[in-house]
Amino acid sequence: MTDPMKIRAQMKGDVAEVRVLMSHPMETGQRKDAAGNAVPVHFIQNISIEVGGKVVVEGQTGTSVSRNPVFGFKVKGAKVGDKVAVNWIDNKGDKRTDEASIT
């Protein structure tokens, strides 16, 4: 099961600022749990940001990205009311898409 993202998209002048919080453990594969067992590697590998139906950013990420990742992007040419969709997919194939509107 995946948890929802928190997306904030606001116009600042003619640029839309998009901030995304993702709920993900971003396990490096090197951590041990309380019982001493290695926690399997589990991390987001790909993200994409769509604004108004167009992909504006595609990202690839590794295990160095912090747990519960935070990303910020800026997009020109967007306007208030445009839909922002954010997708991620991790190394186990789990994926998630959430949407917000630009305010």
Contacts with other proteins, residue ranges (CB under 8 A): 3-6, 8, 15, 19, 21-23, 25-26, 28-34, 39, 45-46, 48-49, 51, 54-78, 87-89, 93, 95-97
Closest contact distance (angstroms) between CB of 61 and other proteins is: 5
Q: Which is nearer to other proteins, 67 or 101 (CB)?
A: 67
Min separation Cβ 83 and other proteins, Å:
13
Instruction: List Cα–Cα distances, 92 to 6, 21, 74, in angstroms.
Output: 22, 20, 29
Minimal distance, residue 99 CB to other proteins, in Å:
13
The answer to whether the CB of 57 falls within 8 A of the CB of 49 is: yes
Torsion of CA 90, 2, 19, 85, to 10 degrees: 80
Cβ pair 50, 84 in contact under 8 A: yes
Nearer to other proteins, 76 or 80 (CB): 76
